[in-house]
Structure 1
Amino acid sequence: MHKHAYLIIAHHNIEQLKLLLLAIDNNRTDIYIIFDKKSKLDCNSKKKYLIKDLKYSRVWFIDSIKIYWGDYSLIDAEIKLFEKAYLEGKGKYSYYHLISGDNLPLTNQTDILKFFDEHPNMLFLSYGRITNRKLLERRIKYWHISPRLIGKYGNKVSPINLLFRLIDNLFVMGQRFLGINKIKRFNLKVDYASEWLTLNKEFVWQMLKNKDWIEKVFKHSIACDELFIPILINKLGFNNFVYNSSRQDNNPNSFQGSLDYINWWDGSPYIWQDRDIKKIEHIKSLGYLFSRKFDLNNTPKLKEWFIENIIY
């Protein structure tokens, strides 16, 4: 039977991460984890705690790096996970599932593996509706100052962040004057989708062959963790392998092709609460296999439901 690799980026909530590993523990799944170095989770005691009750899956821990919002460090972490999994698995994993430590499966591994067995060689990602193409393309069209200096858009920022945003805007104006355009230079067809997704082995192999190109194009971009996989799909001609390319419109009726349900319309994203168990069961009935965002430490009823219905 075909094997699967789970690639996990984690930065907190070690107890929930352990429950996630127990839920995906299976003789057909291996697990690869990278910690955000800022989280201080990368220590032997926590690693032993995470894996001590697993019965089937092999687990690899990738050397942690500091990961920042909108920064190339997130793409770097993802590439490190894909590369490690591809090399350790010798290219034999049928699917690679990229999830965060805040993700949880909505059903057991038997059902998840059965679904993917029935849908071989596909790409599962949630495309976003493009409402402002110029703003989207600005992320990649020019070289930018590091997002860790600019700060996260939509959040409160410090005077230092505002200063670097001003500098970045002046830097972009200079590039416009000089006619710099990375989209034209690298012949990019820009699109975007949720960074959490499932990729097939052929695409992962091609992606790793283009690792240097990815760094060259995306190293000094803004929030391009949502752009680099869709752009690469266009570059490599894998569009026909996409399971569902319908656009997510930030409302409950939009289908999310990653099969990873994320509620952006009630939060950034919304964190499931104890009162939401019936909603979670409903989205499970719609065919979703994963969801984000959970915080089981603060939702005891939801934690109990997860343990009873997914792990056991």
Structure 2
Amino acid sequence: MSKIAHLILAHNNPVQLARLISRLQHPDADIYIHLDGKADAEQFTQLSKIPQVHFIQNRTKVYWGSYSIVQATINSFTEILAAHKTYDHINLLSGNDYPIKSTRQIHEFFNQHPHSIFMEYVTQNSEWWQKIKTRVTCYHLTDFHFPGSYWAQIFINKILPERILPTSLTLVGRSQWMTITADSAQYVVNYLRDNPKIRSFFRLTWGSDEIAIQSILHDSPFKDKIENNNYRYIDWSEQNASPKTLTMADADTLVNSTCLFARKFDLSKEPAIFDYLDKTFS
């Protein structure tokens, strides 16, 4: 049977996080939570008492659009891999995600694909890349926190030429959320450890959580194991910086989707959709 390590990046809403944990629990699953370093850990203490739930100890203060999201993920991969447990997959989720299949269906799916990586990406000739290419060609100080960083960023980009990737790595990207194999996670950890110039490049990239790990795996010996599908249902129809919050109006779409998980949800505003999904996939 396939063993899964669910890795949840969370920063708030301990009640909603507890509900997500309850839906993920399975004899062949462990749940790891990276709690944003800015969050009050005391609010989440009760969750650590749930069987098979582990909190990542090396917490990172996470800021939207910055390399800190990648760092939090790498710190988490490192601790999961050091746990000396045999996992087939590490499944990356946010605290705002929720399953849209039963736990049995999710585990059956991964049992059928023990060596596969499920990751959404597009290449640099895509429309998405044309829209976001300044993320990598310009300098971004999102990961640096000092007075005047915004103005320093403007000045740096006025006087310096466009950035060039320091290696032959081919950049791809799109969604941060993915399910990868344990050995491919170890590859990513080692790659970033052994390539400080690449690490520095991504640290100066805006939204590197949507590019860094994806590019490393796409250029790796694991490339042939990648299926370009992360099996997440995400609705960008509102064309905002964040996806639409899913409600009962989306219930039929979610139930009929081939995806395993969806985002995003808000228990405090739309509790009915949680009850519906729980009842449907109990």
Q: What TM-score, normalized by structure 1, do the two folds share?
A: 0.80
Residues 85-141 of structure 1: CA deviation (Å, up to 9, x unaligned)? 111144x21000011000011112211111111112111112247326466443234
1:45-56 equivalences under 5 Å are 46-48=44-46, 50-52=47-49, 54=50
Give the gaps of 5 or more residues in structure 1.
151-159, 245-256
Q: Which residue of 2 aligns with 1:153?
A: none
1:146-165 equivalences under 5 Å are 146=142, 165=150
Task: Find the aligned partners of 1:193 and 1:89 in 2 and give their Cα distance.
Answer: 31
Letter in 2 for 1:288: C
Query: Is contact 2:67-2:208 (8 Å) kept?
Result: yes
Secondary structure in structure 2 of the residue aligned to 1:84 = helix
Q: Which residue of 2 aligns with 1:18?
A: 18
From 215, 218, 222, the counterpart of 2:199: 215
Task: Find the aligned partners of 1:109 and 1:6 in 2 and give their Cα distance.
Answer: 12
Query: Is contact 2:77-2:186 (8 Å) kept?
Result: no
Query: Is contact 2:32-2:55 (8 Å) kept?
Result: yes
Alpha-carbon shift at residue 275 of structure 1 (Å): 2.6
Secondary structure in structure 1 of the residue aligned to 2:237 = coil
Residues 169, 132 of structure 1: CA spacing in aligned structure 2 closer, same or farther, 3 A cutoff?
farther
Q: Which residue of 1 aligns with 2:164?
A: 182
Residues 10, 133 of structure 1: CA spacing in aligned structure 2 closer, same or farther, 3 A cutoff?
closer
Residues 246-278 of structure 1: CA deviation (Å, up to 9, x unaligned)? xxxxxxxxxxx1001111122520001133222
RMSD: 2.5
Residues 219-269 of structure 1: CA deviation (Å, up to 9, x unaligned)? 22211110002210233243211113xxxxxxxxxxxx1001111122520
1:198-213 equivalences under 5 Å are 198-212=179-193, 213=195
Residues 211, 164 of structure 1: CA spacing in aligned structure 2 closer, same or farther, 3 A cutoff?
closer
Give the gaps of 5 or more residues in structure 2.
none
Residues 295, 230 of structure 1: CA spacing in aligned structure 2 closer, same or farther, 3 A cutoff?
same
Query: Is contact 1:127-1:194 (8 Å) kept?
Result: yes
From 269, 287, 290, the counterpart of 2:261: 290
Query: Is contact 1:33-1:62 (8 Å) kept?
Result: no
Alpha-carbon shift at residue 193 of structure 1 (Å): 1.8
Task: Find the aligned partners of 1:165 and 1:94 in 2 and give their Cα distance.
Answer: 42
**When the two structures are aligned, how many residues end up with a matched partner?**
275
Task: Find the aligned partners of 1:139 and 1:182 in 2 and give their Cα distance.
Answer: 12
Query: Is contact 2:36-2:62 (8 Å) kept?
Result: yes
Alpha-carbon shift at residue 173 of structure 1 (Å): 3.3
Q: Relative to structure 2, which stretch is displaced further, 263-272 or 167-176?
A: 167-176
Letter in 1 for 2:207: A
Q: Which residue of 2 aligns with 1:191?
A: 172
Task: Find the aligned partners of 2:128 and 2:263 in 1 and give their Cα distance.
Answer: 26
Task: Find the aligned partners of 2:267 and 2:28 in 1 and give their Cα distance.
Answer: 26
Residues 60, 11 of structure 1: CA spacing in aligned structure 2 closer, same or farther, 3 A cutoff?
closer
From 64, 70, 73, the counterpart of 1:69: 64
From 197, 210, 230, the counterpart of 1:226: 210
Residues 63, 306 of structure 1: CA spacing in aligned structure 2 closer, same or farther, 3 A cutoff?
farther
Alpha-carbon shift at residue 148 of structure 1 (Å): 6.8
Q: Which residue of 2 aligns with 1:145?
A: 141
Letter in 1 for 2:102: N
Task: Find the aligned partners of 1:133 and 1:307 in 2 and give their Cα distance.
Answer: 37
Secondary structure in structure 2 of the residue aligned to 1:7 = strand
- Structure ranking higher in helix proportion: 1
Query: Is contact 1:6-1:96 (8 Å) kept?
Result: yes
Secondary structure in structure 2 of the residue aligned to 1:67 = coil
1:34-53 equivalences under 5 Å are 34-40=34-40, 42-43=41-42, 46-48=44-46, 50-52=47-49
From 100, 111, 117, the counterpart of 1:106: 100
Q: Relative to structure 2, which stretch is displaced further, 95-104 or 210-219?
A: 210-219
Percent identical pairs in the alignment equals 25
